[in-house]
Amino acid sequence: MQAARGTSLTGDQTDPAPTDPTRRPRTRLLVFAAVALTAYAVDVVSKVVAVDRLTDRPDVQLVGDLFQLHLVRNPGAAFSTGTAYTEVLSGVAIAAVLVLLYLARRIGSTGWAVALGLLLAGVGGNLTDRLLRSPGPLRGHVIDFFMLPHWPVFNVADICIDTAAALILVQVYRGIRLDGTRVPKERTTEESA
The domain limits of the chain are 25-181
DSSP alpha helix (H) spans, 55-140: 86-103, 110-132
Write down the catalytic residue from 12, 15, 20, 158. 158
Write down the catalytic residue from 15, 129, 144, 162. 144
How confident is residue 26, by pLDDT bands cut at 50, 70 and 90?
A: confident
- Sequence-separated (6 or more) residues with CB below 8 Å from residue 158: 78, 122, 126, 144
Residue 153, helix vs strand vs coil:
coil
At residue 41, does pLDDT exceed 50? yes
At residue 56, does pLDDT exceed 90? yes
Q: Is 144 a catalytic residue?
A: yes
Amino acid (one-letter) located at 168? I
CA distance 44 to 28: 24
Cβ neighbours of 165 (radius 10 Å):
14
Mean pLDDT, rounded, for 58-79: 90
Q: Is 158 a catalytic residue?
A: yes
Q: pTM for this one?
A: 0.82
At residue 189, does pLDDT exceed 70? no
First-to-last alpha carbon distance for the chain, in angstroms, is 40
